[in-house]
Amino acid sequence: MRRLLPVAFIVFGVISGVQCGFGLNVTVSSFTKSITSSIGNGINLVVKANASIKIAADDDNSGTIRALIAVSNNVTTPLNRLLGSILAAATAENVNSDELFVNIFSLVAETRPALDAASNAASDLQKTTKEYLYQTLSGNLTELSTILTNLTDGLDYLHLQVYQAANEEYPVTSKNITIFINSTVIADITMPLEAIQNYLTHVASVITVIASERTQVIKYLTQMNETISNGLRNIQNSASGFNRTVIDAYHRIMAQQVNTFKNINQTYAAIVSRASSYNGGDISNLTMFLSDLVAANASFLQFVSLSTNYTMEQINPVLQDRIAAATKTLTRVARFIANQSAINISQHANQCAQRFMQKLQQNPVVITRLSRCIQQDSNALQPTVTFVQYQMDLVRSAASSIANQMSKVCQRNTGACARAYFAALPDHSQVIQNKISVIAGVVSNDEHVVTGRIINCLYGTGADIIENALLMTKKFNRCMLVGP
């Protein structure tokens, strides 16, 4: 619905002296002055009321602003033309009076359906504003439509009198014109015009009040939306930060793993490169040992990768679900409280709405509480990284011990001493693989513990936010009864 466009409306003021109108060329005492005074400010008050609406109709989901603009447009546009034409006709001399009245009556005919449209638009306000405001607006619109009948009757009678005066056999002068146009004839016009002015004043007043209250509702909800949006950004930053720490922990663990196996391979590289010089050229146990380490390395990588992905993949859906549930509840409660400030007739409505809209943006119902579930575990994996570093050092030392001891203990690389060390490699391989598997299990277990703790916190905190928000509705209802 478009906002009411500026209208070119005649400025009504007091016209001094005695003038004639409606095509007559004689003066009638205070005739024009009475009509001008009865029209008064015309539609100007309604125009100002419409102009006081500072928010766009599309920003109001209740439809209140759209309905008010529709009421204003349908009232001001036709009545502007009608009242303006009556005022112009009241000062028109030496013109065809029949044409003047035909124009006025056509404008009356156009005004009726427009006022009906205004009443239909006003009916949309019944559930979005206070009952007495709706009834006042609806009643005055109905009266405007009804008073048109009285105005039409008065115009009909005036038309007849003007016609008779214009067609009188004897000349009509300012002295005998009162035979045709007297205080009674004038009153039949001015009384409906005064009534129209009175009803327009009430319509403008109600539009201003309803628009002001709905504007406050939208301000409440806009502020609430901003609070939620800021909270969501806070949560997103916390979630992104946590994911970075998880990925960082993964990379640091992988770096330890890569360095460990690189060091082990370097330790045995000298033996592999001179295989014929060791154990009679039979280094099959060493080849198998290194192959087992490659497999253990791949298994470790896959295991830690899966557990790391599990942490991020499990937390995010729960986080989004709790955000959606909490946001939905907070928004629903905020709309209820804000709308009650414009609908409820309680004398405490404004105070209670203001108080509880503030409470909805404070603990314990702020949505940022969800971010604390993540923030409290932002460094939870640091001990795990430290553990992996220490344990990988032990793996490197243990895995390299065969080569290191053999070089220190055995005098000959092909003798019985060397054969004993090569024979020990299969059992040693199993020990090292078990050690690597234990480290991977600890990493996975730690990440699962952190994941479970965060998820439990998200469910618990989300439920607490929702419960407290719903309790806020009950407290607000009590406030409306007994006051803040």
Arithmetic mean of pLDDT over the chain: 89
306-338 confidence digits (pLDDT tens): 999 998 899 999 999 999 999 999 999 999 999
9 has a pLDDT exceeding 70: no
- Quick: pLDDT tens for 224-256: 999 999 999 999 999 999 999 999 999 999 999
Quick: pLDDT tens for 398-449.
999 999 999 899 888 888 998 999 999 999 999 999 999 999 999 999 999 9
Tell me the domain boundaries of the chain.
31-181, 222-482
Ordered DSSP codes for 343-400: H---TTHHHHHHHHHHHTTSTTS-TTHHHHHHHTTTTTTHHHHHHHHHHHHHHHHHHH
Is the predicted pLDDT of residue 188 greater than 70, yes or no? yes
**Tens of pLDDT along 34-46?**
888 888 888 899 9
Average pLDDT over residues 2-21: 40
Categorize the per-residue pLDDT at 3 as very low, low, confident or very high, splitting at 50, 70 and 90: very low
pLDDT in tens, 71-105: 999 999 999 999 999 888 887 776 788 888 899 99
Confidence band, pLDDT 50/70/90 cuts, at residue 6: very low
| pLDDT surpassing 60 at residue 1 | no
**Does the pLDDT of residue 216 top 90, yes or no?**
yes
pTM of the predicted protein model: 0.81
DSSP secondary structure string for all residues of 53-112: --S-GGG-TTSHHHHHHHHHHHHHHHHHHHHHHHHHHHT--SS-HHHHHHHHHHHHHHHH
Alpha carbon distance, N-terminus to C-terminus of the chain:
38
